[in-house]
Structure 1
Amino acid sequence: MTECDGGETHVGVVGILLALGLLMFLAYRGFSVIFFAPVLAILAAVFSGLSILPTYTEIFLPSLANYVKVYFPFFLLGAVFGKVMDESGAARSIARAIVNKLGVKRAMLSVVLSAAVLTYGGVSLFVVAFAVYPFAASIFKEADIPKRLVPATIALGAFTFTMDALPGTPQIQNSIPMKFFNTDLYAAPVFGTLGAIMILVIGMFYLERRRKSAQAKGEGYGLGHTNEPEIQEDRYLPNPWLSAVPLLAVLVVTFVLQKFIFPNWDVTAEVTQPPYNMLPDGVVGTQNNWALMVALVVGILLAFVINPRGIKGNVAKAINLGAIGSLLAVLNTASEVGFGNVIKSLPGFQSIGSSLTGINSGGSPLLSEAVTVNVLSGVTGSASGGMSIALDTFGEYYLNWADRIGMNPELLHRVASMSSGGMDTLPHNGAVITLLGIAGLTHKQSYKDIFAITLLKAGTVFTLILLQSVFNFV
């Protein structure tokens, strides 16, 4: 590389960092990522000497479209499932039952478990926040626990171990790696289960310490809060056990299809021919995607029928709101993926990528993968967006590395999934902003404790990578 080339590379890196910083700032300030992601991607491209319009039409838009093509069904079906669970009263019934069962003395644990059950059952994270918040605020008020701890408590239950660590979770953060590593939702069960236990135990320890510290100083729930919930008795809430049937159905149907049905259904000869023209290497991952789609459809149908009186008159509302909400969610994330793919095409990114992939721990790709996914998820403020960029760019590299050393690709799946749920919840993360808005709180009031949970999530992955290198578990 000539000195001139080096100078151009440095300018390109400055452009990348400037674009990333502006994207984070503007997202934090509430500006639309859908609009500003391509604008800032083009800004970074200009710093690297690329043309504006070709960058937009030939790099950004195809990347956006490909992400929508692959993952839109999960956003759509997941959002509709969540809205049907909400409109039927099933989500509220489950949350209320857990809160009532555990009581005031275990207020924080009851909120965490309520959010965890709904998330692990496939309900959208945003719907979980809306469903659990009214009960969380009410029981915190009754127990005189500072309201500022409500967002971190919900985040521990919804944004952590049931989102990406526990094997089988149908959240998109656990489904994305299937495409790259030909795995299923149950990849690396020991690794994921240990991680889930660690996050839950340490997270509860942290939250309880924060509660005791606040109460020792005489701080209670507080006065003058906004968005205080009004819990009203609902005659049409279904039985909580019945309400759990759609959640269980999603898990069971996915498991049966991925483990027993699709492995014995050889469609390769058919789908690799016109009009489908699929690549043979991608058939297994696509079949696993099909399994989750079918399971979510079954869950939606069951959620409709468990409480006919509650859902009566709200069928169209649930479907329409879910569908509309899924469009915004998938376009936000796809825009971030388009932005990331423009960045990765720039010469300046090659030096950044070399630094990330150059991280080596005992000859294993896990540490490099964990750092890369964490960094890109933090930059984009999106677990699914950051992981998609990381695996689109380096997934094949990590898979080849794992093959060379005889490592099970399931570990790559689980580390990528859990790492995406690491530094994604920085202040500009959409779920964090939504959660604070629902609770009527500000970053200044509550983000400190959300960030502590974020550090816990990120730290758990690296701890498990160290343990895995010693004990060699999957």
Structure 2
Amino acid sequence: MDILTTLLALCFLMFVAYRGFSVILFAPVAALFAVVCVNPALVPPFFSGIYMEKLAGFLKPYFPVFLLGAIFGKLIEISGFARAITERVTGVIGNKNAMLAVVVVCALLTYGGVSLFVAAFAVYPFALELFKAANIPKRLIPGTIALGSFTFTMDALPGSPQIQNIIPTGFFKTNTWAAPWLGLIGALFVFACGMSYLGYRRRQAQARGEGFNPEDAAPAAADDKPAHPLVAFLPLVLVGVVNLVFTRLLPKAYGPTFDFAAAGVKDVAAIDTSKVFAIWAVEGALLVGIGAILVTAFARVRGPFSKAASIAVAGALLAAFNTASEYGFGGVIAALPGFRAISGAMTQAIGNPLLNAAISTTTLAGITGSASGGMSIALAAMGQRYLEQAAQMGIPAEVLHRVTAMASGGMDTLPHNGAVITLLAVTGLTHRQSYGDIFAMTLIKTAAVFVVIAFYYTFRIY
């Protein structure tokens, strides 16, 4: 009965997310429903002592990353830098390689710190023009954007400033550059397989005589002078470089702990800085990127900045609270007997911590429709156990970080995923028209996790 209650709570949350209801509203409902089935008297203490504590505990370290990332992405958009980058990449790669050009632009933006949602909005207008010039059906755009935005730059490439690559650092005391060789192998696998699939789908359409429908073309836009490509690329480059520099310098500057008493501040407990170095590095890098945009494109962003900043803040709040609500849900479920029985059975059935972490994380990401949410639930419940098992088997924490991060980006993009719904809404397409190609990317990036695990055990390189 305890296991059934846990599964019902998970299925209920997946159902309401799929139907488009707010996770912020229904995550506590689902969690407390499970508590009621165990013991109704436990509802108030579980809500205040576990759910709200976990929710607040997630927001405390990660909300600044959501906020700075949203502002950075919005500035990239309104400054015209996204357009300049797209036009430059297209000029180098050529219209005949429209799919490759869209993937590269999405990858540059997201690896440079632009949020996945913002990248979809920024790239779509130019993807539409490229597909029109190359006579490729519009219905293949979502799969192409998904490959560039939702896969290898999100959680595989070392140093990625996306939240999916940051969350494991707090559990495993690693940094965003963890296991670089495994990340590169995984990224290459996803990119190669994804481009092969997209090429196959394009040839299929050509064989049927299907091309771009002129009715899908966007109305002509104002011919504003784009920013210089070198200036447009500068903020993205700075975010990557500064992130790497801060990752190396901050541990030397602060040490493993920071004692406030030494700074003359009383009644404040010392903090374990090893858990937050990676977050500080990304925050500092995004601040430098934002400053670079303001300096180089002040005239462009001055007018629309107020409205754009409000939109960015609202988006950051929604994204952060969605994930934090799922994290609180995971904390409650993890404390119940049913989940402990399930996790114990999985540990016995799958003794390898890498396989256990991969399967658990990608399953929960699929159920919640969120990479960060599913990973947060898995790590909140079993992160310490994974770490202890890995240490016993001589597996570095960096390998566990990379496998868990990549697994979070596995089955997360099921039909109820927020990024999928947003992408289809932006492109004006339906699940029936384009979700099949997005699901193909889901299968490819899920397979990549196990390719990485096999590579590690074969060569012991990470």
**TM-score between the two structures when normalised by the length of structure 1:** 0.93
Provide the C-alpha distance between the structure 1 equivalents of 2:420 and 2:453, rounded to a whole number of angstroms.
Answer: 27
Name the structure 2 match of 1:38.
28
Structure 1 377/272 Cα, relative in aligned 2: closer, same or farther at 3 Å? farther
Task: Note the C-alpha offset of 1:269.
Answer: 4.8
> Aligned with 1:237: secondary structure?
coil
Structure 1 346/88 Cα, relative in aligned 2: closer, same or farther at 3 Å? same
Provide the C-alpha distance between the structure 2 equivalents of 1:404 and 1:17, rounded to a whole number of angstroms.
Answer: 31
Summarize deviations over 1:122-160 as a string: whole Å, max 9, x none. 001111000011111121122221211111100000000
Give the counterpart of 2:116 among 102, 115, 125.
125
Give the counterpart of 1:368 among 356, 377, 382.
356
> Aligned with 1:166: secondary structure?
coil
Structure 1 284/313 Cα, relative in aligned 2: closer, same or farther at 3 Å? same
Give the counterpart of 1:177 among 168, 179, 188.
168
Task: Note the C-alpha offset of 1:266.
Answer: 2.7
Alignment of 1:399-418 (within 5 A): 399-418=387-406
Q: Is the 8 A contact 1:99 1:135 kept in 2?
A: no
Amino acid of the residue matched to residue 253 of structure 1? V
Alignment of 1:177-326 (within 5 A): 177-222=168-213, 225=216, 229-266=218-255, 268-271=257-260, 274-279=266-271, 282-326=272-316
> Aligned with 1:428: secondary structure?
coil
Asked if residue 147 in structure 1 is aligned to residue 135 in structure 2, the reply is no
Name the structure 1 match of 2:380.
392
Instruction: Give the paired residue count.
Output: 458
Q: Is the 8 A contact 1:134 1:230 kept in 2?
A: no
Task: Compute the RMSD of aligned alpha carbons.
Answer: 1.8
Provide the C-alpha distance between the structure 2 equivalents of 1:320 and 1:391, rounded to a whole number of angstroms.
Answer: 32
Alignment of 1:18-33 (within 5 A): 18-33=8-23
Provide the C-alpha distance between the structure 1 equivalents of 2:448 and 2:220, rounded to a whole number of angstroms.
Answer: 36
Structure 1 218/328 Cα, relative in aligned 2: closer, same or farther at 3 Å? same
5+ residue gaps, structure 1, are 1-10
> Aligned with 1:425: secondary structure?
coil
Structure 1 137/41 Cα, relative in aligned 2: closer, same or farther at 3 Å? same
Summarize deviations over 1:223-252 as a string: whole Å, max 9, x none. 655xx5345244342112111111111111
Amino acid of the residue matched to residue 70 of structure 2? A
Structure 1 234/270 Cα, relative in aligned 2: closer, same or farther at 3 Å? farther
Q: Is the 8 A contact 1:237 1:310 kept in 2?
A: no
Asked if residue 113 in structure 1 is aligned to residue 101 in structure 2, the reply is no
Structure 1 231/128 Cα, relative in aligned 2: closer, same or farther at 3 Å? farther
Task: Note the C-alpha offset of 1:267.
Answer: 6.8
- Once the two structures are overlaid, the 10-residue window that deviates more, 406-415 or 315-324, is 315-324
5+ residue gaps, structure 2, are none
Provide the C-alpha distance between the structure 2 equivalents of 1:62 and 1:372, rounded to a whole number of angstroms.
Answer: 23
Q: Is the 8 A contact 1:82 1:127 kept in 2?
A: yes
Summarize deviations over 1:237-290 as a string: whole Å, max 9, x none. 2112111111111111111111134334337252488544245xx321212211
Q: Is the 8 A contact 2:113 2:236 kept in 1?
A: yes
Q: Is the 8 A contact 2:175 2:277 kept in 1?
A: no
Task: Note the C-alpha offset of 1:166.
Answer: 0.5
- Once the two structures are overlaid, the 10-residue window that deviates more, 322-331 or 303-312, is 303-312
Task: Note the C-alpha offset of 1:109.
Answer: 0.3
- Once the two structures are overlaid, the 10-residue window that deviates more, 195-204 or 231-240, is 231-240
- Once the two structures are overlaid, the 10-residue window that deviates more, 258-267 or 54-63, is 258-267
- Once the two structures are overlaid, the 10-residue window that deviates more, 261-270 or 348-357, is 261-270
Percent identity of paired positions between Structure 1 and Structure 2: 49
Name the structure 1 match of 2:336.
346
Task: Note the C-alpha offset of 1:470.
Answer: 1.4
Provide the C-alpha distance between the structure 2 equivalents of 1:401 and 1:278, rounded to a whole number of angstroms.
Answer: 28
Name the structure 1 match of 2:78.
87
> Aligned with 1:423: secondary structure?
coil
